[in-house]
Structure 1
């Protein structure tokens, strides 16, 4: 203290501000606490310019508390001096503090008015310091970025980061982290990754927080694998993940339906001594529930409780949502009412989940009663809650009630949103009310709601199904142009064309390397705000409409176009086109497209294989259909090639019985057994007039308790009747009765006529009639005139025989 008061600066200040107490004989009598030192420094920074050289002489007498006191006092006097003092103090780790940073951010975000813009004052301070050749540290820009972000002025925050180089200031870890946070929150993950690459090139020290921000952004943008790769990169760099990092990556994996990977990370987290919290537990529960693995979720809950986890409203919400997804609605209801019993009160989220579940189960009356119960308990439903109920009413065709509920939303100070109108558009299209759907679509923008990609897709699908392909195309082009057609045109032209996400990422990285970070940000935001862009589902809807109308060349043109625009065809795209080519008898091209699909890395789904099998069977190419399914089985990791090869040899030898048995033994081990291929073969054998073999397949399927579909039964009955095997045909009819299938009049009449035309089997016809009557067939309307005539003839014969016997 004595040294402080003897400095020339403080001697001059002391003479003016410290009264001479003659009773004190030593400097200790004038002991100055932090408050007094702060006052001395306040005087100094007010009067001395530039302040930095003078402050350097007294820096060792200052501490964090004194710095904060000076800032608090100066905030009310002169923001410019306050900001400059903050920049100076930030040079020393001993004087820098989070509280000082927060004071400046508070000054920036709270002190804005028309006459006094603190941001402009701070920028003028930076300009003065640059002109005076006073070094400026990154903390100044971190404060400005934080201030802009607190006011949700993301573009100014990005601009500030980009201007650091103009002041010869290199971003530090805090600057990178805050701007990455802003970019992730604004959903410009491509820009965040480009800035991360800048960090790596500048050899800036990375922190756990840096990785957590980026992992969160990647997960939320649907790039779970990239997030996992970054998590591994973090470990490779020797940075230990925190509890938050683990929770973020586990939550992202669960959202990506990779719950098993999340569970493995959960154990890794515990093994490293990082204790999970309630957010971690709830994320895992939610992951298992969303996949429909509800029994595993309840088992997890038991183990979590052993760790000390106490289930709350969010935990109950996850479990109830899981039960609903697993179609166990009664159990979901039971658990919902149990929430009250344990002393908890369901919140808006839980009520919405339950209302959605009841609506999806077509129990709209119960869902509406629950909404009334909810409002009676003082919980106000929001638009999302109403949307769940509106969708339920649309699904059951009660469109007037759905539209009444839409009007009811405003009574709770809420507003219908894009999702509300999209639900109504979907419902109206599904019920054939295309005109009304178009009217709602056209009114959306007037009501301040812009159609989403789902809205466009629903209307385009409705137009296609109504055969209005020209209007569907017009809607597609309206969607494609969006609100900013010049932007798309500009990006798709020139040397650096942007046609897909990879080329867009390269452009963003190039802009960042050139220091044009703000330009990159504006580009990505413009793309985001420029309206909806056709996605692969939009193209699939149009391609399906064209294929159905026989316009396969138009469908193939769209297939080429979507790839030029950076979209990747999916299995639905290929499957639709393959089926479309088969419909117009272009089988060779269909198989070429199938091979092209595999070569392009789009793994054909079982649906694509089954479509090709069906068409091959229609062309009596049973061996091709059989080989296709074996190829599909070989593509599954769970199947052994040795077993498939044995089955293939049986088939090549013509031993159909052992081939089918061998396949069934393998297939039934799969979690999701599919009986469709067997029904396709059975039908194909009938179409190829190989009825005896078809009946053999039917018998094997019965032996293995595999359901035979109604169409396959029809084909088999028809084939057996045609070959005069009426006992076997009757056996198949009895099977349809057992399964609850009701056959078309044509099939029943054909079989009755075949039985009645046979002298030996005519008695079976009357037994068949008796069975049909017991199954609820209306014989008066079902039986054709010829059938009735034959029945009348046989009835007369039986009557005469009875009379002669009598």
Structure 2
């Protein structure tokens, strides 16, 4: 069969409608029928298109919605002649694609007919198709359209790359987006500002702020000046990463480069300050906005009210809400959700429920977040029946309850020890077709672990993994290129992109993402903690290795939990091996990990090791002076305990970072190795700096002094506990009293101490042992 279209060099001399007319006779425009006839036969097509003005061509494409065949042909011809013309009518063509059930198929047939006739097809013809598929919500087809460009001998330009990058970032397939970007660079295409904005936005949304900054720097190094949109994206990302100070500096840089921040930029910064609790800076920014003529809208008020609620400054939040109402600003669902959540968090759940009812009267439809805030408020207060009742009430609506609703209820049940009820809700959720999230699984697994139902917890963990598609595991487990971690996955994706198999790379990543609810690091940490607390350290280690094989990087909680578990079973050497592995893998140990290792070092009489560990932690903190830390270490080694503790305290006071933990551990450690004199000197320094010594430290100190016979000093420490309002356990009280009663010259001090104990609220009948009472009667 003869093709409908002929090569572009075929055209008939001037068609009838182009004949010269007299000046009195108007020049008629071609009708839709004329155009379709000519384009179908390709007779005079090139001549026709070349003699139409851009505006006429655009209007023809936009006017012929009822004839998509004509519109598509005109558009594809337009991509040959003028990119500007093609882009101006892109929206109309997308509407035609979406407006007809067979619109996309017709468009592909048109492309194939053009190709079969040897007519070159421009990139814009595919760019509009990618955007059309994206609007239809068929991302896979959009990626397929991009992949098929090579079949039409069409090389993507920067605009087509931007179209597919937008789709990939929106679907959160960042690994593939980066691979496509690298492919773009290899094709010697220069990324545009839009390219960088898409990628920076993707990095910010995935919380990879440092990668976003690197991409931003690369953009400026290539001589591409960021605009307000680009700046706002990265400012918002910095705020979400709790780097509001850096975000503010970037706003200043933005102004210096002549790029004016808009209200969205300022709202992003305001929101960042509010979420960090830096409300003084937030209010200062509001004053700056008002001075520059900006009006604080509902978004700005929402950020401030949310910040005040989080800071538990409820009265100020309500006052600001009143100001908003007085200014006539209309509420939206987001602000209503913030107010409902704020009331619920403050324990005013009834008020939150009333406000929820008021929303409907104001013409606002409460969403899942509103209802979930009230349900969570009931659960937090332990009103589980009320929470369940509200859950049943909203179940009548199509969009409720969602996975978050069930997760809140499961958390509430587990927190109150109702594991059976939590499991029942979980099963109900699955029967209704509501897919549990990883948070839902984590909540129930944590509850089962705390209830010592480790077998049930592990079965639930396996259930998460069974959700994965077996075909994926079979494919990935075969051959030398199997994907077992994130590094090999990245390599696999890059190889597929280089081979032009972008659709295959996309399908691989989407299968991984949609292959059930994959356990995350929190899931593993919860189970590892459960095994450790039950003394099954080998089971914990198996899980530890399993998570690494699946590409999940352990975090500081994972390592800390394992270290604590190893110390519980007195495997100190293994604990230090895990600690060294943690540091080697670039995972920064928390202060709790260091304190845990310090505690066990002291128990094994290694106080110097404990000191070195804490100083190592201090060295890892910013702005700590290395010379000062070395001086403290030398003082410890030389036995100058007062100087060493003074140095530590001065450093803590300077950086406003006083943590009693290490001082307690060291003081107790000194007592445990019978260095009571040094412990006492440390106690004196802490008193001098007005640092409250903890009750356990006082107990160990009294015990050590009693053993050495320094009863006067032991009494002084006991008096210290009375003045601080500490109520010590009966064992240490009786030990001190017995030592005093059995000594030759301290018996009176025992009776004086008993009087003071009674005055400070001790129940002597319950506190004193029978032996102590007999000694008192004897004396």
- Specify the alignment match of 2:320 in structure 1: 335
The 8 Å contact of residues 594 and 614 in structure 2, kept in 1 or not, is answered as yes
Residue 669 of structure 1: how far off its partner (Å):
1.5
Residue 493 of structure 1: how far off its partner (Å):
3.4
- Specify the alignment match of 2:281 in structure 1: 296
The 8 Å contact of residues 683 and 715 in structure 1, kept in 2 or not, is answered as yes
Deviations 1:5-32 (A, max 9, x none): xx985563478xx9xxxxxxx7211232
In structure 2, stretches of 5+ residues that fail to align are 1-10
Going from structure 1 to structure 2, the CA distance change for 1:763 and 1:780 (only over 3 Å counts) comes to closer
2:268 aligned counterpart, secondary structure: helix
- Specify the alignment match of 2:272 in structure 1: 287
- Specify the alignment match of 1:12 in structure 2: 16
Query: Does 2:73 match 1:84?
Result: yes
In structure 1, stretches of 5+ residues that fail to align are 1-6, 19-25, 798-806
Q: d(CA) in 2 for partners of 1:87 and 1:490?
A: 41
- Specify the alignment match of 1:172 in structure 2: 157
The 8 Å contact of residues 359 and 367 in structure 1, kept in 2 or not, is answered as yes
The 8 Å contact of residues 39 and 45 in structure 2, kept in 1 or not, is answered as no
Residue 50 of structure 1: how far off its partner (Å):
5.4
Among 182, 186, 210, the alignment partner of 1:225 is: 210
Going from structure 1 to structure 2, the CA distance change for 1:329 and 1:694 (only over 3 Å counts) comes to farther
- Specify the alignment match of 2:44 in structure 1: 54
Deviations 1:103-126 (A, max 9, x none): 2111111122xxxx1221221111
Residue 333 of structure 1: how far off its partner (Å):
3.7
Residue 703 of structure 1: how far off its partner (Å):
1.9
Among 537, 560, 571, the alignment partner of 1:552 is: 537
- Specify the alignment match of 2:461 in structure 1: 476
Query: Does 2:100 match 1:111?
Result: yes
Residue 660 of structure 1: how far off its partner (Å):
0.4
Residue 421 of structure 1: how far off its partner (Å):
1.1
Query: Does 2:442 match 1:457?
Result: yes
- Specify the alignment match of 1:803 in structure 2: none
2:334 aligned counterpart, secondary structure: helix
Query: Does 2:548 match 1:566?
Result: no
Residue 266 of structure 1: how far off its partner (Å):
1.2
- Specify the alignment match of 2:494 in structure 1: 509
Superposed CA RMSD in Å reads: 2.7
Q: d(CA) in 1 for partners of 2:608 and 2:646?
A: 16
Q: d(CA) in 2 for partners of 1:746 and 1:360?
A: 42
Residue 566 of structure 1: how far off its partner (Å):
1.4
Among 731, 745, 750, the alignment partner of 1:762 is: 750
Q: d(CA) in 1 for partners of 2:716 and 2:358?
A: 54
The 8 Å contact of residues 630 and 644 in structure 1, kept in 2 or not, is answered as yes
Query: Does 2:25 match 1:30?
Result: yes
Residue 294 of structure 1: how far off its partner (Å):
2.4
Going from structure 1 to structure 2, the CA distance change for 1:9 and 1:82 (only over 3 Å counts) comes to farther
Q: Which deviates further from its counterpart, 655-664 or 618-627?
A: 618-627
2:178 aligned counterpart, secondary structure: helix
Q: d(CA) in 2 for partners of 1:590 and 1:446?
A: 44
Q: d(CA) in 2 for partners of 1:515 and 1:264?
A: 42
Query: Does 2:628 match 1:624?
Result: no
The 8 Å contact of residues 738 and 772 in structure 2, kept in 1 or not, is answered as yes
- Specify the alignment match of 1:252 in structure 2: 237
Q: d(CA) in 1 for partners of 2:531 and 2:12?
A: 90
Residue 88 of structure 1: how far off its partner (Å):
0.8
The 8 Å contact of residues 45 and 51 in structure 1, kept in 2 or not, is answered as no
- Specify the alignment match of 2:7 in structure 1: none
Count of aligned positions: 766
- Specify the alignment match of 1:96 in structure 2: 85
Q: Which deviates further from its counterpart, 237-246 or 257-266?
A: 257-266
Q: d(CA) in 2 for partners of 1:789 and 1:378?
A: 78
Deviations 1:240-269 (A, max 9, x none): 111111111111121122222222221111
Residue 278 of structure 1: how far off its partner (Å):
1.2
Among 376, 386, 395, the alignment partner of 1:401 is: 386
Among 654, 660, 663, the alignment partner of 1:678 is: 663
Residue 59 of structure 1: how far off its partner (Å):
4.3
Q: d(CA) in 2 for partners of 1:425 and 1:685?
A: 46
Among 260, 270, 274, the alignment partner of 2:259 is: 274
The 8 Å contact of residues 606 and 632 in structure 1, kept in 2 or not, is answered as yes
The 8 Å contact of residues 38 and 45 in structure 2, kept in 1 or not, is answered as no
Among 63, 68, 90, the alignment partner of 2:58 is: 68
Deviations 1:488-525 (A, max 9, x none): 34224322121222222222222222222222222222
The 8 Å contact of residues 758 and 764 in structure 2, kept in 1 or not, is answered as no
Going from structure 1 to structure 2, the CA distance change for 1:679 and 1:484 (only over 3 Å counts) comes to same
- Specify the alignment match of 2:3 in structure 1: none
Residue 173 of structure 1: how far off its partner (Å):
2.4
Matches within 5 A, 1:147-546: 147-372=132-357, 374=359, 377-410=362-395, 414-546=399-531
The 8 Å contact of residues 158 and 191 in structure 2, kept in 1 or not, is answered as yes
The 8 Å contact of residues 12 and 43 in structure 2, kept in 1 or not, is answered as no
Q: d(CA) in 2 for partners of 1:289 and 1:743?
A: 43
Q: d(CA) in 1 for partners of 2:44 and 2:201?
A: 45
The 8 Å contact of residues 409 and 422 in structure 2, kept in 1 or not, is answered as yes
Q: d(CA) in 2 for partners of 1:656 and 1:278?
A: 57
Q: d(CA) in 2 for partners of 1:339 and 1:718?
A: 62
2:586 aligned counterpart, secondary structure: coil
